[in-house]
A and B are shown apart, each in its own frame.
Chain A
Amino acid sequence: MMPFAILGLLSRQPCHGYDLKNHIEQALGGNREINFGQIYTTLGRLERDGLAIASEIEDGRGKKTYHITAKGKEELDIWLNQTVDRIEPFKDEFLIKLLVRNLAGYGDILKTISRQRQSYLQQLRDLTTLGTQDNGDPFISLLIEGALLHLQADLRWLELCDERLENQRTDE
């Protein structure tokens, strides 16, 4: 996200590293501090890839101003217009744990599911508590709401796992 956030800001106007830090921190509702190391590492990469260039300004302090290149603008555009796939290489670590347990014949699958359910429910609780504190920032609210919806889906899926794997056990 960081490279594109920076390109996005540069596409509006050239910036110092310090401006970039401030803008991004503001966009995150002041809830997270970005360190300069992250900013400058990203800027270095963008320069290396020809997506941004630095120019030194005549203020004697040696502060560089960063500009987006035509290639940078193009990359940004492509990325912004690309749709996001939900069908990706399989990533749910929990299902992998279940598969491994099943393969290895090791441990209690239903107990594993129960513990995961506890964890998800507690996370749901933590997030709903967070959600009640009015953030005011629409993107932060959407982020929280998104996480809540995902957790609800995860919990419904866990119930399905529990049901199907329990039946499988009694069938054996």
Chain B
Amino acid sequence: MGPIVETRNVCKTYGMNGIAVEAVRGIDLMVNSGEFVAIVGPSGSGKSSLLNLLGAMDSPSSGEVLFDGRSLTELNDWQRTTLRLKHIGFVFQTFNLLPTLTASENIEIALRLASVGRRESAARAGELLRLVGLSPRALHKPRYLSGGERQRVAIARSLANRPQLLLADEPTGNLDSQTGTSILELLRDLCTRNGQTVILVTHDFRAASYADRVLLLRDGRIHGETSLHAGQDSSQVLGQLLSFELQWGGDRSD
């Protein structure tokens, strides 16, 4: 099975008032099924532009984006919309839930739009809320949910149509450190246990460390890549940290 998403020398230039901004400058990347990839870069590095290209929300100025082996340039607007609805899940920094709908309804609407029947949608929404640990909050509207809970609903929604790819754009940006960690753990879990392919776009190295592979973005180009393996034995790690703390302070004349 080929890569889920691939870009070939993809470029994106924005023009305004005669000034061209090259946001993405020739990126080649590939994400395989079941991978958790993080794209890290500071603001202005082209992260959001790249995400929009990967998520078929925007078209490149040149180069290609392929989804499941199929070039997106071949697709018309309607086909791209359907692709996003059925094959890609989105999680945003600002959650983007519909404020007049309950948690469950926010998930159901994604299913109804994909022509899933009412009863099945409700059942699937229930299943997803259970998956993200929010069953008790099913009937709450977003304004009654905490930031972390809203993001969990957003994640559940993104999984509604069993997408091949989950795209997360700074998912912990509006969350406190502890809540952010639980969201990252949820994403990690979805990949490790359910084989969900995840692309996380972030400026935060700590968030990126949850990935299997980290791509470094700067000025519209990927300038480096690192593979990570699962955390080593914790007692060893803690032991190392504590060794430092136990060193003799001050007088080292011995």
Interface residues of A (CB under 8 A from B): 1-4, 28, 31-32, 34, 38, 41-42, 45, 114, 117-118, 121-122, 124-133, 140, 143-144, 147-148, 151-152, 155-156, 159, 162-163, 166
Contact = CB atoms under 8 A, between A and B. Distances in A.
B242 A128 contact: no
A121 B209 contact: yes
A148 B249 CA distance: 23
B205 A143 contact: no
B235 A124 contact: no
Given A1-B249, A28-B242, A31-B239, A130 B206 contact: no
B232 interface: yes
B181 A132 contact: yes
A114 B224 contact: yes
Contacts of A42: 248
Contacts of A148: 206
Nearest to B253: A45
B20 interface: no
A156 B45 CA distance: 14
Interface of B: 42, 181, 185, 204-206, 208-210, 214, 216, 218, 223-224, 226-232, 234-235, 237-239, 241-243, 245-251, 254
Ranked nearest first, the 4 interchain pairs of A and B with the lowest CB-CB distance are A129-B231, A124-B209, A155-B205, A125-B209
Contacts of A162: 218, 223-224
Nearest to A156: B205
B246 A1 contact: yes
Contacts of B42: 159
27 contacts: A1-B246, A2-B249, A3-B248, A4-B249, A32-B238, A114-B224, A117-B224, A117-B226, A122-B229, A124-B209, A125-B228, A125-B229, A125-B230, A127-B237, A129-B230, A131-B181, A133-B234, A140-B238, A144-B238, A147-B241, A148-B206, A152-B205, A152-B206, A162-B218, A162-B224, A163-B218, A166-B223
A163 B235 CA distance: 36
Contacts of A163: 218
Given A32-B238, A114-B226, A132-B181, 11 more contacts: A32-B242, A45-B251, A121-B205, A121-B226, A126-B234, A128-B181, A128-B206, A128-B210, A129-B232, A140-B238, A143-B245
A67 B77 CA distance: 81
Contacts of B235: 31
B205 A130 contact: no
A141 to B, nearest CB: 11
Contacts of A125: 209-210, 228-231
Nearest to B245: A1
A156 B204 CA distance: 9
A132 B205 contact: no
Contact of A124 (B205, B234, B238, B249): B205
B231 A32 contact: no
A23 B250 CA distance: 22
Contacts of B248: 1-3, 42
Contacts of B249: 1-4
B232 to A, nearest CB: 5
Given A128-B231, A129-B230, A162-B224, A121 B246 contact: no
B239 A124 contact: no
Contacts of A121: 205, 208-209, 214, 226, 228
